[in-house]
């Protein structure tokens, strides 16, 4: 499958330290704007708690200034959010309402539906923005799959605040 040359997906941990979220969102916004200036207008989020939803909200916020930006939610299955806490469910439903398209990679939960979702996103992207701090788990597997597929990856966990840009 050919990668879309101007599509970017997101992958990151579900648990984010609360004290880093504002800075992380600022970094995401800056990178989304830089990518938009380079012709990227399609963004894919996996719709999970944590980094995925933070990225989706940031894309939707950027869309206010760049209406040609589109957000696709690539979801592992229908109802994947049902067991979440109320605040996370409400945020997800607001993002779901405002996104441009939704793709369900599985109709119902299966043991591999999360990885299927992650591979779906990588196979349709030319870039992956991640927040990776651990060598194991779904984000690490997605990071490794992106590298295997020769997709450019920017890990915001390793971004140096002294840099002037993300040097894409």
pLDDT digits (tens, 9 = 90+) for 73-92: 999 999 999 999 999 999 99
pLDDT at 164 over 50: no
Residue whose pair of structure tokens reads 């439903």 in the numeric block = 93
Residue 50, number of CB atoms within 10 A of its CB:
16
1 located within any domain: no
Please give the share of the chain, as a percent, with pLDDT higher than 70. Answer: 92
**CA angle centred on 47, ends 111 and 144, rounded to 5°:** 65
Q: Would residue 120 count as lying in a domain?
A: yes
Domain count of the chain? 1
The answer to whether residue 49 is domain-embedded is: yes
**Domain residue limits at 135:** 8-158
Instruction: For residue 3, tell me if it sits in a domain.
Output: no
Q: Pick from 125, 110, 122: which is nearest to 146 by CA?
A: 122
Residue 153 sits at φ, ψ, to 5 deg, of -125, 130
Q: What is the DSSP string of 28-78?
A: HHHHHHHHHHTT--EEEE---TTHHHHHHHHHHHHHTT-TT-EEEEEESST
Instruction: Let me know if residue 164 belongs to a domain.
Output: no
pLDDT digits (tens, 9 = 90+) for 120-130: 999 999 999 99
**Residue 33 forms part of a structural domain:** yes
Residue 71 lies in a domain: yes
Check which CATH number belongs to the domain holding 135 and give it: 3.40.50.450
Question: What gap in Å lies between CA 38 and CA 10, rounded to an integer?
Answer: 17
């Amino acid at each position: 499958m050919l990668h879309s040359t101007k599509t970017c997906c997101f992958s990151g941990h579900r648990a984010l330290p609360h004290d880093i979220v504002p800075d992380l969102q600022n970094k995401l916004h800056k990178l989304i704007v830089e990518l938009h200036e380079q012709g990227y207008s399609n963004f894919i989020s996996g719709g999970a708690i944590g980094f995925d939803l933070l990225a989706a909200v940031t894309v939707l916020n950027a869309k206010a200034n760049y209406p040609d930006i589109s957000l696709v939610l690539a979801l592992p299955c229908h109802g994947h959010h049902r067991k979440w806490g109320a605040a996370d469910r409400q945020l997800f439903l607001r993002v779901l309402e405002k996104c441009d398209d939704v793709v369900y990679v599985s109709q119902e939960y299966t043991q591999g539906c999360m990885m299927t979702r992650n591979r779906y996103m990588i196979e349709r992207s030319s870039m992956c923005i991640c927040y990776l701090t651990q060598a194991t788990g779904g984000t690490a597997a997605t990071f490794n799959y992106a590298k295997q597929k020769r997709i450019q990856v920017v890990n915001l966990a390793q971004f140096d605040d002294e840099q002037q840009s993300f040097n894409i």
